[in-house]
A and B are shown apart, each in its own frame.
Chain A
Amino acid sequence: MAVRKTKYEMPEQTPQERIKNFNEVPYGYSKHVAVEEAKRCLQCKNKPCMNGCPVEIDIPGFISCIAQREFDKAAEVIKAKSNLPAICGRVCPYESQCEGECTLKKIGEPVGIGRLERFIADYERNKGVKIPKKAKVTGKKIAIIGSGPAGLTCAGDLVKMGHNVVVFEALHDPGGVLIYGIPEFRLPKEIVKAEVNYITKLGVKIQYDVVVGKTITIDELTKEFDAIFIGTGAGLPNWLNIPGENLDGVYSANEFLTRVNMMKAYKFPEYDTPVKIGKVVATFGAGNVAIDCARTSLRLGAEKSYILYRRTEAEMPARIEEIHHAKEEGVIFHLLTNPIRFIGNEKGFLTEVECLKMKLAELDESGRRRPVPIVGSEFKIKIDTALVAIGQSPNPLIPNTMKGLKVGKHGNIETDDNGRTNIPGIFAGGDIATGAATVILAMGAGKKAAKAIDEYVSRDRNTVE
């Protein structure tokens, strides 16, 4: 039987409908469609898809379970490696990871691995998640700093190994970027809550309102814990550094998204935190965060939502699916456009942005063609709000409050491939170590660090006893 060349479609809200609400865009596969999609998998012996998975899920294994309608077993296969599958199934860049390696790509579209993972995670969550048996208690205490994807993964794996794990979170909700950064319509917060709930049911304790470095120091933690994992993320927003950036109406992507997502400003005044965007919103940057900002703006009622980017669509770092969704919803892309100053009125509110037209020149160190300004091409666009989404740097709070920790030139904590820092017993992973990257890479780093931490505390025990 010939294999179907295209993925089965995942039904979703129409663009006209969805820009009026914050509900999730796709609805997910039905059981029937999931089984059919799973049957497309060729079950390659060499499992190329797994090379693309930072958390090493047995992808053909769980897909074959789905094809045989053994959904519970499929969930077990995924959960053996991933503690947060409903999140991965929504925000992973599968096209460049597992699906990017799929053999079916030679004849058409890859297997919808992301969609299938999501299907299983949702199936399991709706049914009631099974809590696996815990390993024998080791008596070792491990502190995890930050409850983002790296920290939660690391915590989940360590607790399953029998360690006593405490997560310290600076904010009032768990999830890090999953809560403050990624919008509701892409990753519903109920799902983040459910996945965190699973982690806590495994036995992980989470302490909120603790800013490590301020409320408690790493040095104090080392007295109480056998090992520490730092997963504090890339929280520091980058700026354009152009005149007028402190005008009212200019937000960092972080501030804008935190207001809307974590503080639920889209429900103001039911929730107390406001956000004000006016009619025309310009987002600067073209990564996933920028696309999130532009699409969120439409849902908040912006009449026009622009993306201003200094290169072309080919260089955009955002996932193709996100760009596609944004276009469908009416986000307007101003490409080869670089802002040079913000202009405001006498009350200090933003009214315009002045830009330069760009052209692409030779390749730069990132392997992309370098944008250069076209002389004399200045022009202005009237805008009410500017969202600066040109990346984040590692949060300096811990490196700044801890002596002796080796930090790279971008402020990232230096580690080896297994998350070991230069200080024995202190590990780091995710964006704090790599600079801003993806949720799944952070999860992969958390996973590797968990192994290294387990080795470290076990070796410690062997020498002590």
Chain B
Amino acid sequence: MYEIVGKKVLSPSVKLIEVKASLIAQKAKAGQFIILRINENGERIPLTIADYNSKKGTITIIFMEVGKTTKQLGKMNIGDKILNFVGPLGVPSEIEKYGTAVCIGGGVGIAPLYPIIRALKHKENYVISILGARNKKLLMLEKEIDEISDELHICTDDGSKGQKGFVSDILQKLIDEKKKINVVWAIGPVIMMKVVANLTLKYDIKTIVSLNPIMIDGTGMCGGCRVSVGGKTKFACVDGPEFNGHLVDFDNLILRNRRFICQEEESCKIKED
């Protein structure tokens, strides 16, 4: 059992929890994820690690309440225990001294971006962060990321904070301003990552995306998380979750992530009744 030792409500549907998991906290690196199962009847879901503290032995995750498990998780409080919590899974981000790195986070994708920005700064990169959300309320970690970034740009779909528009508009502007960009990290909704990758492909800028397909075991056993990368089938759990954005078949990923949408609705409905 893994105890929740910290909780923050970032917006009505976005929560942060800090979970006591000493072994994982010793090993966790930017870009990795965990899989959790709340109780005996629960499903296993992957969540990217938003932060880790090896001294305290804790892992922080930030999630949006979109399905059965995340809604249930959102209702849990400090002192509650999660039945299973496994990790750190996946390959860590390849953190090097690239030069200038543009880190783009959309929605809850901002959460896993935070440790990556920190690691990139640690390697003395010049980090330009671009954060996007549907509206001001859904924008998270602005202050934290501002503190560790060299530049911060913000946009919202409705213009309630920062520039009105999309993260790709800001990236385009940076490119137009002839900023030398050595690498782009894009984490967020699949469609956002697709748009960013299409844009950077035109300018031949190395782009890394972090994928979030449906998973079960997280150890390469089931293949449920398979994605097509450069025409080859890869498992996001063991080969990823980060991949070269220019090679990912995002359209297939969007379809594969919808495969249980009807069952998800059914499951949510029943538990709420």
Bound complex: CA A254 to CA B224 (Å):
9
Interface string of B28-56 (1 = CB under 8 A from A): 00000000010001111000000000000
Which chain B residues numbered 36 to 85 have a C-beta less than 8 Å away from chain A? 37, 41-44, 68-69, 83-85
Q: Chain A residues near B264 (CB, 8 Å)?
A: 274
Please tell me if B11 contacts chain A, counting CB pairs below 8 Å. Answer: no
B201 at the interface (CB under 8 A from A): no
Contact yes or no, A237 B221, CB < 8 A: yes
- A210 to B271: give the CA distance in the assembly, Å: 30
Query: A residues within 8 A CB of B258?
Result: 248, 347-348
Contact A254 B27, CB 8 Å, known A215-B88, A268-B267, A272-B41: no
Q: Which of B80-106 contact A (CB under 8 A)?
A: 83-89
B86 with A272: CB separation less than 8 A:
no
Chain A positions 347-396 with a Cβ under 8 Å from a chain B Cβ: 347-349, 395-396
Whether A248 contacts B89 in the complex (CB less than 8 A), given A239-B233, A274-B267, A396-B220, comes out as no
Query: Which residues of A are found within 8 Å of B218, using beta-carbon distances?
Result: 211
CB-based contact A170/B219 at 8 Å? yes
Q: Do the beta carbons of A272 and B267 come within 8 Å of each other?
A: yes
Listed stretches A65-73, A255-263, A332-340; interface member: A255-263
Measured CA separation A2–B41 after assembly (Å): 55
CB distance from B67 to the nearest CB of A (A): 9
CA distance A210 to B86 in the complex (A): 7
Q: Are A246 and B252 in contact, with the CB atoms below 8 A?
A: yes
Contact assessment for B44 and A235 in the assembled complex, using a CB-CB cutoff below 8 Å: no
Contact of A246 among B41, B68, B217, B233 (CB under 8 A): B233
Size of interface on B: residues with Cβ below 8 Å to A: 45
A270 within 8 A of B: yes
> A247 to chain B: which residues have CB within 8 Å?
255
Verify A276–B220 contact, CB threshold 8 A: no
- Point out the residues of chain A lying under 8 angstroms from B24, CB to CB: 215
- Give A273 to B267 CA distance when docked, in angstroms: 9
B41–A271 touching, CB < 8 Å: yes
Kindly state the separation between the CA atoms of A214 and B238 in the bound complex, as whole angstroms.
10
Looking at the assembled complex, report how far the CB atom of B39 sits from the nearest CB atom of chain A, in whole angstroms: 9
Q: Which residue in A259, A268, A395 is a CB contact (below 8 Å) of B219?
A: A395
Report yes or no: B89 in contact with A258, Cβ–Cβ below 8 A. no
Q: Tell me if A128 counts as interface (CB < 8 A to partner B).
A: no
- A22 interface residue per 8 A CB criterion: no
Mark A210-227 against chain B: 1 for CB-CB distance below 8 A, else 0. 110011100000000000
In the complex formed, the residue of A with least CB distance to B89 is A214
Interchain CB contact under 8 A, A214 and B88: yes
Q: Which residue of chain B has its CB nearest to the CB of A264?
A: B41
Beyond A239-B233, A255-B223, A273-B43, whether A214 also contacts B267 by CB under 8 A is no
Whether the Cβ atoms of B41 and A276 lie closer than 8 Å is no
B191 at the interface (CB under 8 A from A): no
Query: What residue in chain A is nearest B227 (Cβ atoms)?
Result: A246
Asked whether any CB of chain A lies closer than 8 Å to the CB of B246, the reply is no
> Are A235 and B221 touching (Cβ within 8 A)?
yes
CB interface residues, A 230-257, toward B, < 8 Å:
235-237, 239, 245-249, 251-252, 254-255
Residue contact B259 to A248, C-beta cutoff 8 Å: yes
Query: Bound state CA distance, A273 and B256, in angstroms?
Result: 16
15 residue pairs A–B, Cβ–Cβ below 8 Å? A170-B86, A171-B219, A172-B37, A172-B86, A214-B27, A214-B87, A215-B23, A247-B255, A248-B258, A255-B222, A347-B255, A348-B255, A349-B259, A395-B221, A396-B238
The 7 closest A-B pairs by CB, nearest first: A348-B255, A274-B263, A255-B222, A235-B221, A272-B43, A248-B259, A252-B223
Chain B interfacial positions (CB closer than 8 Å to A): 23-24, 27, 37, 41-44, 68-69, 83-89, 216-224, 226-228, 233, 238, 249, 252, 255-256, 258-260, 262-264, 266-267, 270-271
Which residues of A line the B interface, CB within 8 A?
170-172, 180, 208-211, 214-216, 235-237, 239, 245-249, 251-252, 254-255, 258-259, 263-264, 268-274, 276, 347-349, 395-397
